[in-house]
């Protein structure tokens, strides 16, 4: 705080931070609490402690197959978005392309358009051309949504590098592929890693597109959870949610290690 901050403002800040943190984290804590409750019904605060609901999730075909579907799609999306977005960011960072401003605006545009509009468009187009929805349709859709995040983190990382590295490498005899492999790739790596984990997280947690592009047998975890919530769920839905929260925390730690959380906040 700037010196000379009045004492009441300091107290207010502390109380405000505590309340806001509680508000932001409350739903997550509640879900975690419900997941270990002995009660047959969803209730909070939890009664007793049991890991029964986790067992139930792990032995449930519906949840396990949804988890596999989510995982495969998320991995595909991670690889596709990292490759496509990283390559585009390298080219855009060089600023030598005509209309590179327009191109980067285009690559970032899925951020601005509400997902529901895109989802309905994707459903209509895919049905018109290919007929029934397939996992590929969902993977492509998620890649489009995740792409801007990869492009943005990679561009932010590249913007911090010395713009003369590639030229210096040329004067030292590095050819086109050598420059990409030995100069550009090592520079963009943290952005690519962080962007890739973002892409995984986005695809794994995404609900809107997955709800539009679903058919029997193609259910991702968020869709499965949504379906349970529409009826009267038992605490196993909390157990699976808690596992997903845990995965998110792991991803956050990895992203912090590769790029730094402070950096993400400003991307």
Scan residues 50-79 and list those touching other proteins (CB under 8 A). Answer: none
Q: Using CB under 8 A, which residues numbered 232 to 261 contact other proteins?
A: 237-238, 241, 244-245, 248-249, 251-252, 261
The reply on whether position 34 binds other proteins by CB under 8 A is yes
Binding to other proteins, residues 79-98 (CB under 8 A)? 83-85, 87-88, 90-92, 94, 96-97
For the record, the structure tokens of 246 come out as 């845990």
Question: 166: which 2 tokens?
Answer: 């590639």
Distance separating alpha carbons of residues 239 and 59, to the nearest angstrom: 12
**Nearest of 78, 95, 115, 87 to residue 185 by alpha carbon:** 87
Taking the complex as a whole, how short is the minimal distance between the CB of residue 52 and other proteins, in angstroms? 18
The count of other CB atoms within 10 Å of the CB of residue 23 is 9
- Which of 36, 66, 107, 259 binds other proteins (CB under 8 A)? It is 107
Q: What's the min distance (Å) between Cβ of 55 and other proteins? A: 20
- The structure tokens 């579907």 sit at 69
Cβ–Cβ under 8 Å, residues 165 and 183: yes
Report d(CA 248, CA 241) in Å as an integer.
11
- Nearest residue (CB) to other proteins, 20 versus 59: 20
User: Binders of other proteins: how many residues, by CB under 8 A?
Assistant: 111
- d(CA 124, CA 50) in angstroms, rounded, equals 45
| Cβ distance to other proteins smaller for residue 63 or 212 | 212
When binding is defined by CB under 8 A, the residue of 58, 71, 140, 254 that contacts other proteins is: 140
């Amino acid at each position: 705080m700037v010196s000379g901050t009045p004492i009441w403002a300091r107290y207010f800040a502390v109380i405000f931070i505590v309340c806001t943190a509680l508000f932001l984290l409350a739903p997550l804590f509640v879900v975690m609490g419900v997941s270990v409750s002995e009660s047959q019904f969803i209730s909070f605060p939890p009664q007793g402690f049991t890991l029964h609901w986790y067992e139930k999730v792990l032995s449930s075909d519906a949840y396990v197959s949804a988890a596999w579907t989510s995982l495969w799609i998320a991995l595909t999306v991670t690889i596709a978005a990292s490759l496509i977005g990283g390559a585009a960011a390298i080219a855009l960072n060089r600023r030598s392309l005509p209309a590179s401003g327009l191109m980067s605006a285009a690559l970032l545009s899925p951020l601005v358009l509400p997902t529901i509009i895109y989802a309905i468009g994707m459903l209509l187009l895919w049905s018109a051309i290919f007929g029934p929805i397939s996992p590929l349709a969902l993977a492509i859709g998620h890649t489009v949504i995740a792409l801007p995040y990869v492009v943005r983190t990679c561009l932010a990382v590249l913007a911090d590098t010395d713009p003369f590295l590639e030229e210096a490498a040329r004067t030292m005899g590095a050819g086109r592929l050598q420059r990409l492999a030995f100069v550009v790739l090592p520079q963009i790596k943290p952005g690519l890693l962080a962007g890739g984990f973002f892409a995984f997280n986005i695809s794994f947690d995404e609900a809107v597109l997955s709800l539009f592009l679903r058919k029997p047998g193609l259910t991702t975890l968020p869709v499965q959870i949504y379906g349970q919530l529409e009826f009267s769920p038992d605490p196993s839905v909390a157990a699976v949610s808690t596992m997903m929260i845990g995965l998110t925390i792991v991803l956050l730690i990895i992203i912090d290690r590769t790029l730094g959380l402070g950096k993400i906040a400003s991307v």
